[in-house]
Amino acid sequence: RDAGTEWKALDFRCLPGATDRLPCLLSPYHSRLDWETWIQTTASMEHLFEKRAPPQEYFNRFPNFLHQLVLRILHGDEDAVS
């Protein structure tokens, strides 16, 4: 960590975060970020777990949208978390 770097906590709109506000309620719908993350990681990679795939296979299947989200966050794009 660089001495001049300031880290700022991100407060995702529909995820539990700040204790001074309630998370949004979308029932019966889901936050797109939650849903996409679950579908593209857990649900689509179950077969890797079943065949006891090595960690590299999980890494190779890391969803592109999550990669792009991480890059946007690291570059300070505040719209990425809304």
- 26-45 tens-digit pLDDT: 777 777 777 788 788 887 78
Confidence of residue 1 (pLDDT cuts 50, 70, 90): low
Q: Which comes out higher in pLDDT, residue 26 or 55?
A: 55
What whole-number percentage of the chain has pLDDT above 90? 9
Which amino acid belongs to residue 51? K
Query: What is the three-class DSSP state of 27?
Result: coil
Confidence of residue 24 (pLDDT cuts 50, 70, 90): confident
Contact 26, 45 (CB under 8 A): no
